């Protein structure tokens, strides 16, 4: 039975319980906010010229992404069994701590989904403060929690934001340094880096836009993400209901973040598959843009841009090459890697891929 976290004074919960529910809330919040645009975005863009309704639908699916910080806060608080007031407070604190809204002149502007690492920090800080306060103030909590917890957490998180962003900057500098290498090692290394990032709270799309990754480097980034989607889709089949691998295949890889923290060995098939697919991508010449680099096969953004990058060659040959790089090689490699590591070497059991909602 799942542990309940009441908010009475003196309440103590284990750090593992707190961390797991924090990560689970973050993972589900990211998936809930980003999946609509990931699935429908490219389709709606193609349909926009045919009817104004598709433009409106595209605006809706795009705007849903901006709710990610609030969704993360709400779901973290929900996982910790907070009251509706506690859920609202953590949600508000996460939104402010994300840095998604900034003051430009006299106007507040939403700039995107913010920094997900700082969002997670804000959600954790607000949750810990609520657990500490508990019910000490009784009915006055209705005033104290929104006024002090939300405001104080938001204020602290806004001051940690510039330092947290340095993590993204450091990764960006590392990725840019790889672009100076020869094509094959460059593609493999960038594929490995993006495969590691996409399953973390860091946004690969935001990172790609920030560093302006292009060409073969962008294609390799997209291939690394496709490798993770393949590994987690294959891994979750058979131990979860069909909806879990389907969600992962459609872009919800971050929902497995709690599993990765509990079982870091999941990185083994991920890095193996990413290295192999990165190597193949370098031979084929898979490219992309900074807009497509952070998506992999999500919404077919990566394959579509890779197809364009291959130039004006034979349509069928280009289609086969793109399918080979994004689907055939990643999934076959993932299946082989899972078989070797779980059946032959017995390094892990498939139960490590069971998603706990």
How many alpha carbons lie under 13 Å from residue 263 in its C-beta half-sphere?
17
Report the pLDDT averaged over residues 42-47: 82
Structure tokens at 198: 């996409």
- Per-residue pLDDT band for 337 (boundaries 50, 70, 90) equals very high
pLDDT for position 357 = 67
At 149-205, the pLDDT tens digits run 999 998 999 999 999 888 878 888 888 888 788 889 999 999 999 999 888 877 787
At 290-325, the pLDDT tens digits run 777 877 887 777 888 888 888 777 889 999 999 999
- Domains of the chain by residue range: 15-166, 179-353
Structure tokens at 260: 């990765």
At 169-185, the pLDDT tens digits run 888 888 888 878 888 99
Residues 155, 257: Cα–Cα separation, whole Å:
27
Rounded to 5°, the CA angle 212-256-11 comes to 115
Q: Find, among 329, 353, 332, the residue nearest to 223 by Cα.
A: 329
């Amino acid at each position: 039975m799942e542990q309940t976290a009441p908010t009475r004074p003196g309440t103590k919960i284990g750090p593992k319980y707190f961390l797991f529910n924090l990560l689970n809330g973050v993972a589900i919040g990211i998936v809930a906010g980003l999946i609509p645009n990931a699935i429908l975005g490219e389709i709606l863009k193609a349909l926009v010229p045919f009817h104004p309704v598709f433009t409106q639908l595209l605006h809706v699916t795009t705007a849903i992404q901006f709710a990610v910080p609030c969704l993360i806060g709400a779901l973290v608080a929900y996982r910790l069994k907070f009251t509706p007031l506690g859920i609202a407070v953590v949600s508000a604190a996460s939104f402010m701590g994300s840095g998604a809204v900034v003051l430009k002149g006299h106007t507040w502007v939403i700039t995107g989904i913010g920094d997900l690492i700082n969002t997670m920090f804000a959600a954790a800080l607000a949750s810990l403060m609520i657990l500490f306060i508990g019910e000490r103030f009784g009915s006055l909590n209705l005033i104290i929690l929104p006024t002090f917890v939300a405001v104080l957490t938001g204020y602290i998180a806004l001051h940690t934001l510039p330092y947290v962003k340095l993590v993204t900057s450091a990764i960006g500098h590392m990725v840019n340094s790889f672009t100076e290498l020869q094509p094959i090692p460059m593609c493999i290394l960038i594929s490995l880096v993006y495969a590691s990032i996409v399953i973390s709270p860091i946004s690969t799309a935001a990172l790609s836009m920030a560093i302006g990754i292009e060409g073969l480097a962008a294609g390799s980034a997209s291939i690394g993400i496709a490798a993770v989607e393949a590994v987690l889709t294959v891994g979750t089949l058979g131990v979860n209901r069909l909806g879990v691998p389907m969600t992962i295949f459609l872009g919800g890889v971050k929902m497995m973040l709690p599993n990765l923290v509990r079982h870091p060995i999941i990185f083994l098939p991920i890095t193996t598959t990413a290295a192999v697919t990165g190597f193949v991508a370098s031979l084929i010449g898979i490219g992309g843009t900074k807009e497509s680099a952070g998506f992999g096969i999500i919404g077919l953004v990566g394959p579509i841009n890779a197809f364009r990058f291959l130039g004006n060659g034979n349509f069928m040959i280009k289609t086969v090459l793109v399918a080979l790089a994004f689907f055939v090689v990643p999934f076959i490699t993932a299946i082989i890697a899972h078989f070797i590591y779980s059946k032959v070497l017995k390094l892990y059991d498939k139960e490590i891929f069971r998603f706990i909602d």
